[in-house]
Amino acid sequence: MKALIYHGPGVKALEEHTPPALAAAGDAIVRITKTTICGTDLHILKGDVPSCTPGRVLGHEGVGVVHQAGPAVAAFRPGDHVLISCISACGKCEYCRRGMYSHCSSGGWILGNTIDGTQAEYVRIPHADTSLYKIAPGLDKEALVMLSDILPTGIECGVLNGKVQPGSSVAIVGSGPVGLAALLTAQFYSPSEIIMVDIDRSRLELSRRFGATATVDNSNGKAGEKIMAMTAGVGVDCAIEAVGVPASFLLCEEIIAPGGTIANVGVHGVKVDLHLQRLWSQNITITTRLVDTVTTPMLLKTVQARKIDPARLITHRFKLGEIMDAYETFGNAASTHALKVLIEA
Amino acid sequence: MKALIYHGPGVKALEEHTPPALAAAGDAIVRITKTTICGTDLHILKGDVPSCTPGRVLGHEGVGVVHQAGPAVAAFRPGDHVLISCISACGKCEYCRRGMYSHCSSGGWILGNTIDGTQAEYVRIPHADTSLYKIAPGLDKEALVMLSDILPTGIECGVLNGKVQPGSSVAIVGSGPVGLAALLTAQFYSPSEIIMVDIDRSRLELSRRFGATATVDNSNGKAGEKIMAMTAGVGVDCAIEAVGVPASFLLCEEIIAPGGTIANVGVHGVKVDLHLQRLWSQNITITTRLVDTVTTPMLLKTVQARKIDPARLITHRFKLGEIMDAYETFGNAASTHALKVLIEA
Amino acid sequence: MKALIYHGPGVKALEEHTPPALAAAGDAIVRITKTTICGTDLHILKGDVPSCTPGRVLGHEGVGVVHQAGPAVAAFRPGDHVLISCISACGKCEYCRRGMYSHCSSGGWILGNTIDGTQAEYVRIPHADTSLYKIAPGLDKEALVMLSDILPTGIECGVLNGKVQPGSSVAIVGSGPVGLAALLTAQFYSPSEIIMVDIDRSRLELSRRFGATATVDNSNGKAGEKIMAMTAGVGVDCAIEAVGVPASFLLCEEIIAPGGTIANVGVHGVKVDLHLQRLWSQNITITTRLVDTVTTPMLLKTVQARKIDPARLITHRFKLGEIMDAYETFGNAASTHALKVLIEA
Amino acid sequence: MKALIYHGPGVKALEEHTPPALAAAGDAIVRITKTTICGTDLHILKGDVPSCTPGRVLGHEGVGVVHQAGPAVAAFRPGDHVLISCISACGKCEYCRRGMYSHCSSGGWILGNTIDGTQAEYVRIPHADTSLYKIAPGLDKEALVMLSDILPTGIECGVLNGKVQPGSSVAIVGSGPVGLAALLTAQFYSPSEIIMVDIDRSRLELSRRFGATATVDNSNGKAGEKIMAMTAGVGVDCAIEAVGVPASFLLCEEIIAPGGTIANVGVHGVKVDLHLQRLWSQNITITTRLVDTVTTPMLLKTVQARKIDPARLITHRFKLGEIMDAYETFGNAASTHALKVLIEA
């Protein structure tokens, strides 16, 4: 089969690769019909993710059709249309019992990381019963590719951890795909203000179309001052960090109101300063989270009920044979204005 | 009347002072019968609290008897025995409505800070109806002095923010009075482990008598390693920081289990390093809080029901005339083994 | 002044009445500019509310302008435009501290019940600081009349108690004004289904325009069967009872899914059968609530942010001099299709 | 093997029976070492549980040793000492994902009901990975038999649903084994009052030794009056119904405070009157629940940490060969004072 292989920092190739086979009774083999590229894939290619070793098929998002199901798989049969979760969950360990699938003792984020992933014609999904989701007839499968990772990440790490509520004020720092996913899902809870912060004007413009009530261009580094002025010096109830660098986390510390919550979504590579000398008395909460994908069933319902249209995040479309171009487009988002690139297998 | 006056960094004196008078319709004048000294008073005396200016009567804890009640005071009459909350709350502003009395727009921590406090024969209490609590007959008034600040602080900033639950594992870093208050109140929720960390052996010994299931002497700076070993490499569900220095916060970052909560209680003077490069994916929560004293009614019930005996925190007793000695004893806790010093007015 | 007076079961009159005067330091006198009639006023007129005695000025909803403020009122000055809450709250008693203003020991629902109400030119508001809300400039005051009672009732007793969440399925039994208020506010949480049940076709039609995803005409008493069929035999996550008769509560028992919540909003005059022989094992929750109006600040924000337009509930407009006609119109809703009638004073 | 067989209403026998065999890949065969009898077994024998048909091996509680594990069982190996949950849970269906194991689409309460149970030498446990719990060395296995059903039932259906909190007031109606399990586990949360209600004096006496702060003998039917007097006319924050008859539920309605919760634990055979004409405005919550056994891991920790000693519920001990006597003793609790009878296999 064709697969996109990671060959070490900076090197990837679309190659012929042995198709996966069932390895455990609970595995399923899924024929990929649609996949996409994640910012994390770019991190891997930079050499930032040591757990992912050369030879690995990349990708942890996608929809497809069950090709084979192991003898212990109860919920799926060959031919079933399925959504693949970026998180594999056994459903049995202590973490899974608590809904913390991200830390599953035999799963978590392994697809396209420690086992072969979805940027291929076929993929092996461990713990299939609790890592795949049936797709109801009539649902837009392109839209559902956004439910593998980006929408659960936006809502779980950003919106739910940030306790967004009707009438609350929200700032989202970073309007990349994950920040926009947070923006879309924050609206499930009817906050009265959603301020998007970025340095890219076209993304800020897009944010308004996606429901932001205000945007702040932080090119001059003065977003903190602006947001404090916009909120009468109080700050916001919820600040969502969706970049992953110290400056954007510090901005969240600057604009958080007493009693508010900083919900970190970004993947950080270095430590940040936590200004406890000011914040110790501010009754704030800071949260971190690797997505658990526990919201997937709920998200499927909201897509089905047309409360949200995740396909709005898709800007470009490619065939699997063109995946090297897709990486090029996605990797140069500043010039291509790419959000999510859809890859048809 | 006699009062302990702050005269600028390092200088305090027990002096004659004009007794307070009603200033607003909701004020009450309380004759102090028992008060105590807080670590915060020592901070003020070091010059660390700029809001507290020379000439101020110190103290924000105590019990007493209502001497005068303003015309708008509904709940108290002269002669009522009352507990004084360290937090003054109007009960009306947006923060008070949310139970965040610490940030009351016309109150908060003002006693012995921006207005005269309780280390005196009389004190003026603003917003008396929502800042005083009636003492039921038969309750141990010495014990109740601990309910002005230290017990609400331990339970609200530490135990409740830390989500201590039956069966959970807790580490409390710092076994000073506030750490011990967290230790006592954590037991309301039946955690299976409470590990106390300190460098003072006598306090660790005391911690065991107060209910710690294990103690770790951190004199050698290896508490992190020890606690990870004690928890099979997983860490604790809840880490309570009760010191207020970077090292102890960093220890909490080191020992927190995936999905756990770091509840900061300590008053910090400098920033700390937040190791997001490791913690971003650990699904943790960090909380800060200035005590709101919303738990005071509940704490009164638990004292009355003998679920807790806060008087155990009292190690020394003085008369108001001896308050300079009381400060001496409290300020040299390492040698005097003082926890809370009770001052009879 | 002119006022609508209750003279015992079945008898009311618009009469001259002595204007109210300040009675306590925390009182305010408000000049009414807009008021309305509530289903509860009709209950009083039927003689169903013994606490309301003849001679009483009716009405517990409205907006106006502060005319006089007692010496202990801190937040309001004459000339302030205010929203009047149907619940008077002292902000100090044990119930108010818990946010249960409905059971305030010196307040609760007293306006137009045990003290004179708002269907008059002036009204005395006790505990003004915690029972009035400032109206920001530019807000639609007609819309805000809906925030005195009907919207808080819909959201607190129905939506919040019913734990409506993104993706959940909701049935609202009764599409009168309160049922419609629940319908409007349920949408703050993006449920995937909201099924409205009634026997009045025009109201069901209206419900669709207000956001219902489905409607069930229960004229034939088969709503239970239909809803079970619509939900694949499972039932709904949340059933809101907004009528107040046994049949509608029984319907909720019939359609509630395992794990679901029945949120009672209706005012009941007789007991109902609770089928515990079936429900004991269904992991359900049943809630009752007299509105606390704790959501008023949040509702003001959502109105200001245009997340909701409560003015849609207003179907008819009258002058205070025409209030007898307004009662006529409101009392014959089946033929007049009245929802809320606005009365300009 | 020996097994206790249900032969229809009123008829049971200890007989030779074919030992169970693995039927699905996720099954385990457990050799029972200790089991017990539940009130539900008596209900079956009265003919009240139509889902349980003649020929069935009874029993849904016990500990044992894994004898055989199906190929899909990941967590257990032959020789492992295990606690058997009364609820079988697949861990995969929508209900299991939500922690509502009681309604598992291929499990729930099936042991000793729709499939053969634990009052035998061997039992087949479906979904073994998520229905068995490993027993740490050194734990008292007799005590753990109480964790199969009675303790999770007491805490989940009673204490957790009833929101017992530090300082709250609790009444438990019924001091049979389940009521006592609620009494023991309620103390995890340090309520200030726990009032036990029963008509059996010896059980009330026992309740005091188990931690009740007060007891009410309801032989004269005046428990409601007494409890209202004991609570200054306010009622209790939490009323736990642990009998399963209308009178005891009505008592809960009578004594519940505004804002309180009635947590139903009892198995009811007939409907009850819900006095909504009084309760609609009382802001109360009523909950029902079939135990989910989601608290089992937490309970294991509290037993290990000696926060609770469930073995106190065991009053009699028998061999499996004497199980007919055990039923006799358990069935005549009024005269034998039996709580739980332990049966050694």
The predicted pLDDT at position B86 comes to: 98
What are B130-164's pLDDT values in tens digits?
999 999 999 999 999 999 999 999 999 999 999 99
Cα distances (Å, whole numbers) of residue B142 to A336, B153, B312, B314, D83: 71, 18, 10, 8, 48
Closest by Cβ to D274, choosing from C98, C269, C272 = C272
For residue B136, the distance in angstroms to the closest alpha carbon of chain C comes to: 15
φ, ψ at B341 (rounded to 5°) = -105, 125
Q: Which residue of B has its CA nearest to C293?
A: B97
Closest C-chain CA to A155: C166
pLDDT cut 70: percent of chain B above it: 100
Which letter, b or e, does each residue of B293-304 get, where b requires 16 or more Cβ atoms within 10 Å of its Cβ?
bbbbebbbbbbb
Q: Look at residue D294 in the predicted model and tell me its pLDDT.
A: 98
Using the CB atoms, write b or e for B107-135: b if 16+ within 10 Å: bbbbbbbebbbbbbbbbbbbbbbbbbbeb
A94 interaction partners in chain D (CB closer than 8 Å): 297
Question: Measured between CA atoms, how close is D185 to chain B, in angstroms?
Answer: 10
The alpha carbon of residue D294 is apart from the nearest alpha carbon of chain C, in Å, by 13
Comparing C-alpha atoms, which of C232, C236, C154 is closest to residue C194?
C236
Q: pLDDT tens across C126-174, in order?
A: 999 999 999 999 999 999 999 999 999 999 999 999 999 999 999 999 9
Q: Count CB-CB contacts under 10 A for residue B180.
A: 27
Is residue B10 classed exposed, middle or buried when 0-12, 13-18 and 19+ CB atoms within 10 A define those classes?
exposed
Chain D residues bordering chain C (beta-carbon distance below 8 Å):
95, 98, 100, 102-103, 244, 249, 258-259, 264, 266-277, 279-290, 292
Tell me which residue has tokens 């660790």. Answer: B204
- Chain C residues inside the 8 Å CB shell of B99: 99
Q: Do the Cβ atoms of A216 and A223 come closer than 8 Å?
A: yes
Provide the shortest C-alpha distance from residue C103 to chain B (in Å): 16
All residues of chain C having their beta carbon less than 8 Å from the beta carbon of residue A300 are 167
C-alpha pair distances (Å), A272 with each of A50, B13, B208: 22, 43, 36
Question: Interface of chain B against chain C, CB under 8 Å?
Answer: 25-26, 71-72, 74-75, 90-92, 94, 96-97, 99, 106, 129-130, 294, 297
**Contacts with A75 (C-beta within 8 Å, 6 or more apart), sequence order:** A128, A129, A132, A134, D92
Sign of CA dihedral C257, C260, C264, C269: positive
Contacting B with CB below 8 Å, chain C residues are 25-26, 71-72, 74-75, 90-92, 94, 96-97, 99, 106, 129-130, 294, 297
Neighbours of chain B (3+ CB pairs under 8 A): A, C, D
CB C87 within 8 A of CB C101: yes
Instruction: Identify all chain B residues contacting A273, using CB atoms and an 8 Å cutoff.
Output: 271-274
Handedness of CA B215, B220, B224, B228 (dihedral sign): negative
Nearest CA in chain B to C132: B92
Give B231-289 as a DSSP string.
TTTS-EEEEEE-S-SHHHHHHHHHHEEEEEEEEE-SPPSS-EEE-HHHHTTTT-EEE--
Q: How close does chain B come to C190, measured CA to CA in Å?
A: 25
Pairwise CB contact (< 8 Å): A288 & B279:
yes
Complex confidence, ipTM: 0.97
Beta carbons of D188 and D155 less than 8 angstroms apart: yes
> Which of A165, A213, A302 is nearest residue C190 as measured by Cβ atoms?
A302
Q: What are phi and psi of B122, to 5 degrees?
A: -135, 155
Report the distance separating Cα A17 and Cα A320, nearest Å. 14
Q: Are D82 and D30 in contact (CB under 8 A)?
A: yes
- Kindly report the nearest CA distance between residue A149 and chain B, in angstroms: 14
DSSP B178-200: HHHHHHHHHGGG--SEEEEEES-
| CA–CA dist A173, A161 (Å, integer) | 15
- Round the average pLDDT of chain A to a whole number and report it: 97
Query: Which residues on chain B are in Cβ contact (under 8 Å) with C104?
Result: none
Q: Averaged over A113-128, what is the pLDDT?
A: 98
- Please report which confidence band the pLDDT of residue A83 belongs to, taking 50, 70 and 90 as the band edges: very high
Residue B6, strand partner residues = B12, B56
Residues of chain A with a CB closer than 8 angstroms to some CB in chain D:
25-26, 71-72, 74-75, 90-92, 94, 96-97, 99, 106, 129-130, 294, 297
Stretch C301-308: mean pLDDT: 96
The rounded distance, in Å, linking the Cα atoms of D207 and D194 is 10
Of all residues in chain C, the one with the smallest CA distance to B91 is C91
Q: What is the pLDDT of residue B274?
A: 98
- Picking from B100, B264, B269, the nearest residue to A258 by CB comes out as B100
Contact status, residue B92 vs residue C130, Cβ threshold 8 Å: yes
Query: Which residue in B76, B96, B97 has the most chain C C-beta atoms within 10 A of its own C-beta, making it the best mutation to test that interface?
Result: B97
Task: State how far the Cα of C97 lies from the Cα of C104, in Å rounded to an integer.
Answer: 9
Residues of D in contact with B299 (CB under 8 A): 167
How confident is the model over B104-115, as a mean pLDDT?
98
Give per-residue pLDDT as tens, A244-303. Answer: 999 999 999 999 999 999 999 999 999 999 999 999 999 999 999 999 999 999 999 999
Min CA distance, B201 vs chain A (Å)? 28
Contact at CB, C72 and B25, closer than 8 angstroms: yes
Chains with ≥3 Cβ pairs under 8 A against A? B, C, D
| H or E stretch at C141 | helix C141-145
> Given pLDDT bands bounded at 50, 70 and 90, which one contains residue A87?
very high
Residue positions counted in chain A: 345
Yes or no, beta carbons of A166 and C297 under 8 Å apart: no
Rounded CA-CA distance C94/B130 in Å is 10
* B245/chain A closest Cα distance in angstroms: 10
All residues of chain D having their beta carbon less than 8 Å from the beta carbon of residue A92 are 74-75, 91, 129-130
Query: Among positive and negative, which fits the CA dihedral D128, D131, D132, D133?
Result: positive
* CB within 8 Å: C72 and B129: no
* Predicted local confidence at residue C173, as pLDDT: 98
Nearest CB to B288; choose among A103, A271, A283: A283
Q: How confident is the model at residue C191 (pLDDT cuts 50, 70, 90)?
A: very high
Which helix (H) or strand (E) segment holds residue C252: the answer is helix C246-255
Contact (CB, 8 A) for B104 and B88: yes
CA distance B250 to B262: 10
| Band of pLDDT at residue B42, cut at 50, 70 and 90 | very high
The CA angle C75-C77-C78, to the nearest 5 degrees, is: 150
How confident is the model over B48-57, as a mean pLDDT? 95
| Per-residue pLDDT band at C13 (split at 50, 70, 90) | very high
pLDDT along chain D (345 residues), means of 10: 97 98 96 97 94 97 98 95 98 95 98 98 98 95 97 98 98 97 98 97 96 97 98 98 98 98 97 98 98 98 96 97 98 95 96
Please indicate whether, in this complex, the C-beta atoms of C307 and A165 are within 8 angstroms of each other.
no
Contact in structure between C112 and C119 (CB atoms under 8 Å) = yes
- Residues B175-215 pLDDT 10s: 999 999 999 999 999 999 999 999 999 999 999 999 999 99
Confirm if B195 and B214 have CB atoms less than 8 A apart. Answer: yes
Contact A91 D92 (CB under 8 A): yes
Compute the mean pLDDT over every residue in chain B, rounded to the nearest whole number: 97
Residue D306, min C-alpha distance to chain B (Å): 8
User: Quick one: pLDDT at residue C84?
Assistant: 98
Residues in C touching B92 (Cβ below 8 Å)? 74-75, 91, 129-130
